[in-house]
């Protein structure tokens, strides 16, 4: 087998392949010999037709079968010979098979782009500030007070206000027709928690048990439910019960009820520590995105169309799954669900290609010693024997551990080569838009 490689574009190549006639003839002779033992041809017992007759009857079928087999085998051999990072199934041109001549054909193959020189040095990225305002602590304290609140009917009864718990019945009418599938009885709601339609919540403010209110709710033309698009629904709501939440006093006794704390100060310090841990994790995640932004800005990455399409489909599937988890079903999917998915998918593919190239250029690999060290860490944290940890992390799970270690190596290199700066307060206030940049100088290659 002989093959010649021609680059059509950074993501597409063409292979001109020739299979020697001797190999073609040998495969065809072998196939005819196999057929001769089982061939059913009129006028002959099965498997007893003369070889010449078998060849005459099955010539086209055998030629097609052998040609397809040889093309597949030759393509695989040529791909391995040229070490092509194939993205999609090769597209094969019409083969030419002539008796006594080599089998000639071309194969067009989509491949990953060659990224042999990466710009890393001279890039900068800003680490997001970790800021825990007091209001965040206050909000968490309030949330815990709500969780520990007692519920009772106001005495004397008063008009409903934000934070109150109501029990309501309601009916819905559209164009004067009652919508029985939208009515509810004995539904508990909390005023001000953001779950009620604004018009309905406004109507309920100031009510007392026994009151009935109506609210007109207009729905947009692009609403997820076809029955509600462009319609105005009239809600008729009856208030059955009204209860208020009595928050616990903000003192040391409250702190003790929230956990293993002796004082309110200990509770606040614990909440702040947890918030700082979350914010540091968020900061590191955002820093990675900014490093990728700088890396993508400095390195041109051609995107194979098939990789982009696969990534888009994967992200669309994930988006639908997430929307369904939030309660959106089928035709009820919100409009604009896939807005910007093309750009996000392209970014993800480019980032993957860049990080893969970095792994190759830096000759990164995970050693058995590093795997053992990670298993030892897991054993220490879980209290399990290391042999048990190894058994629990065999096969696919071992691959996950290896991927984690490789990712750590990749980011260690990027952190060492990209200049990390602390984000300024002004940049943070502007949303970090000025915190990512790539130097005009190309720097050194990886």
Residue 135 located in a structural domain: no
Shared domain check, 286 and 422: yes
Identify the residue whose tokens are 């190549």: 13
| Inside any domain, residue 32 | yes
Please report whether residue 340 resides in a domain. Answer: yes
Distance between CA atoms of residues 98 and 79, nearest Å: 25
On whether both 226 and 95 belong to a single domain, the answer is no
CATH number at residue 218: 3.10.50.40
**The pLDDT of residue 414 is above 60:** yes
Do 404 and 318 share a structural domain? yes
Contacts 24+ apart (CB under 8 A), 247-252: 247/145, 247/146, 247/148, 247/149, 248/145, 248/148, 248/149, 248/150, 250/141, 250/145
pTM of the predicted model as reported, rounded to 2 decimal places: 0.72
pLDDT, residue 368, reads 95
Bigger pLDDT: 93 or 138? 138
**Would you say residue 119 lies in a domain?**
no
The CATH number that applies at residue 45 is 3.30.70.1050
Same domain, 236 and 296: no
Query: What does the alpha-carbon distance between residue 410 and residue 359 come to, in Å, rounded to a whole number?
Result: 7
E strands in 142-194: 150-152, 165-174, 177-178, 184-190
Shared domain for 167 and 97, answered yes or no, is: no
Residues, the chain: 446
Kindly report the CATH number assigned to the domain that includes residue 288. 1.10.3120
- In the structure, what pLDDT confidence band is assigned to residue 228 with cuts at 50, 70 and 90? confident
Torsion angle, alpha carbons of 132, 137, 140, 144, to 10: 150
First to last CA, the chain: 36
Token code pair at residue 351: 């980032």
pLDDT at 169 over 50: yes
pLDDT at 162 over 60: yes
Helices and strands, counts by H and E, the chain: 12, 13
Does 383 map to a domain? yes
Residue 443's pLDDT is what? 38
Q: Per the domain annotation, does 136 fall within a domain?
A: no
Residues 84 and 41 reside in one and the same domain: yes
- How many structural domains compose the chain? 3
Tell me: do 302 and 370 sit in the same domain. yes
User: Residue 417: CB partners within 8 Å, gap ≥ 6?
Assistant: 120, 121, 123, 446
Alpha helices in 173-263 (DSSP H): 198-204, 252-257
**316, 426: one domain:** yes
Question: Domain range for residue 197?
Answer: 150-246
- 430 shares a domain with 360: yes
C-beta contacts of 432-435 below 8 A and 24+ residues apart? 432/126, 432/128, 432/286, 432/290, 435/125, 435/126, 435/128, 435/290
């Amino acid at each position: 087998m002989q093959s010649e490689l021609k680059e059509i574009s950074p993501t597409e190549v063409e292979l001109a392949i020739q299979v020697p006639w001797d190999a073609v003839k040998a495969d065809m002779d072998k196939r005819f010999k196999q057929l001769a033992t089982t061939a059913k041809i009129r006028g002959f017992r099965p498997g007893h037709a003369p070889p010449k007759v078998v060849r005459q009857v099955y010539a086209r079928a055998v030629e097609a079968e052998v040609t397809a087999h040889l093309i597949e085998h030759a393509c695989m051999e040529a791909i391995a010979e040229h070490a092509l990072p194939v993205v999609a199934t090769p597209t094969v041109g019409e083969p030419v098979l002539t008796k006594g001549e080599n089998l000639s054909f071309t194969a067009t193959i989509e491949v990953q782009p060659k990224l042999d020189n990466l710009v890393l040095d001279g890039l900068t990225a800003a680490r997001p500030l970790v800021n825990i305002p007091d209001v965040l602590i206050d909000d968490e304290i309030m949330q815990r007070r709500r969780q520990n609140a007692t519920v009772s009917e106001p005495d004397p009864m008063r008009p409903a206000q934000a934070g109150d718990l109501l029990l309501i019945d309601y009916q819905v009418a559209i164009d004067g027709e009652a919508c029985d599938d939208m009515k509810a009885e004995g539904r508990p709601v909390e005023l001000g928690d953001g779950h009620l339609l604004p018009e309905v919540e406004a109507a309920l403010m100031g009510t007392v048990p026994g009151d009935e209110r109506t609210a007109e709710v207009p729905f947009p033309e692009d609403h997820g439910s076809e029955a509600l698009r462009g319609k105005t629904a009239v809600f008729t709501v009856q208030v059955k019960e009204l209860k208020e939440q009595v928050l616990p006093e903000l003192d040391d006794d409250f702190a003790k009820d929230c956990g293993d704390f002796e004082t309110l100060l200990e509770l606040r310090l614990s909440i702040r520590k947890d918030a700082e841990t979350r914010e540091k994790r968020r900061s590191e995640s955002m820093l990675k995105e900014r490093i990728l932004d700088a890396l993508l800005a400095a390195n041109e990455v051609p995107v194979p169309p098939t990789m982009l399409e696969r990534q888009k489909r994967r992200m669309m599937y994930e988006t639908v799954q997430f929307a369904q988890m939030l309660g959106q079903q089928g035709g009820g999917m919100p409009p604009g669900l896939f807005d910007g998915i093309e750009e996000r998918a392209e970014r993800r593919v480019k980032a993957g290609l860049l990080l893969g190239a970095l792994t190759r250029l830096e000759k990164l690999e995970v050693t058995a010693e590093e795997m053992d060290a990670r298993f030892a860490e897991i054993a220490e944290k879980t209290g399990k024997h290391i042999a048990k940890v190894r058994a629990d992390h065999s096969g696919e799970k071992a691959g996950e551990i290896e991927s984690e270690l490789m990712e750590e190596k990749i980011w260690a290199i990027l952190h060492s080569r990209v200049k990390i700066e602390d984000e300024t307060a002004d940049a943070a206030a502007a949303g970090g838009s000025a915190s990512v940049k790539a130097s005009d100088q190309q720097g050194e290659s990886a």
